[in-house]
Amino acid sequence: MAEVPPVLVNFKAYSEAVGDRALSLARAAEKVSEETGVTIGVCPSHVDLARVASEVDVPVFAQAVDAAEPGSRTGHVTPEMVREAGADGTLLNHSERRMLLEDLKDVCLACMNEELTTVVCASDAVAARAAGALRPHAVAVEPPELIGTGTPVSKADPEVVEATVEAVKEVSEDTVVLCGAGITDGTDVKAAIELGADGVLVASGVVLADDPEEAMRDLVSGIP
C-alpha cells in the first residue's frame, strides 16, 4: 500500500485542474518530486483519475469514494473502480463531501481490502479522534473556516494541530496526521511539521497559484 505522501495536492473541481490541466499539474508534481526527493501526491477528479495514474509517476489519490459495493449502483465511485483506475488511495470525508459516520466506517474497511491508502478529513480534534478510531492511514485536520483563505491553520490556530495529533495518537498509534486549510508556502509547512503533523493537504495554494510548479517547490522546502 502507498505511504501517505508528506504533500498531497487536492485538485478539487477547479477548472484550472481538469482534463489536460490535470495532467500538467500532475507532471509538475512529478518533476518537483524528482528534483527534491519529497513525494508529492495528487488528487485529480474522478474523471481524470485513470489518465493521470497511467501517465504520471506520482501517488494518485481519489478525492472521495462512495460507500458502495460493486453492483447495481448508478453514479457511484467504488473503491474497486479507483483501484482499477490505478489510484493509490483516496481522500474521505472532505469538508466539501462529508460522510455519514457509518458509511465512513464501511468505506475505510472496503479501501483496506482494495489496498487503498485512506486519508480522512476532520474539522477539529474531536472529529479527528472519531476519524482516527476508524484506523485510517491518515487524518487530515482542516478547520473549514480557513479553507481557501491563505491563512494557514498552523498560524491561525496552532492548538488545533497539536490537539489533533494528540487525539489521533490516543486512539490509533499508526495513523499519521496531515494539516490542511490555508497552507500556501514552505513556512506554513514547516510550522505544521513542528506542531506534530506529518505532512500537509493543499489545494488552492497550488492549483490557483500563478506558477503551480514553483508553489509546490516552495511547499516542499518546508519538509525537513
Residues annotated as part of the active site = 94, 142
Asked if 149 is part of the footprint of its own copies (rule: CB under 8 A), the reply reads no
Nearer to its own copies, 96 or 194 (CB): 96
Nearer to its own copies, 125 or 176 (CB): 125
- Amino acid 15 reads S
Residue choice 9, 25, 60, 94 for contact with its own copies (CB under 8 A): 94
Residue choice 3, 27, 31, 105 for contact with its own copies (CB under 8 A): 105
Nearer to its own copies, 156 or 208 (CB): 208
- Point out which span in 29-37, 60-68, 111-119, 153-161 binds its own copies (CB under 8 A): 60-68
Q: How many residues lie near its own copies (CB under 8 A)?
A: 67
User: How many CA atoms does the CB half-sphere of 202 hold within 13 Å?
Assistant: 33
User: How many CA atoms does the CB half-sphere of 161 hold within 13 Å?
Assistant: 26
Distance CA 153, CA 158 (A): 6
Tell me phi and psi for residue 176, to 5 degrees. Answer: -95, 165
Asked if 129 is part of the footprint of its own copies (rule: CB under 8 A), the reply reads yes
Asked if 100 is part of the footprint of its own copies (rule: CB under 8 A), the reply reads yes
Q: How far is CA 33 from CA 26, 58, 144, in A?
A: 10, 8, 28
- Point out which span in 25-33, 56-64, 152-160, 182-190 binds its own copies (CB under 8 A): 56-64
Distance CA 111, CA 94 (A): 16
Residues 67, 107 contacting (CB under 8 angstroms): yes
Nearer to its own copies, 80 or 185 (CB): 80
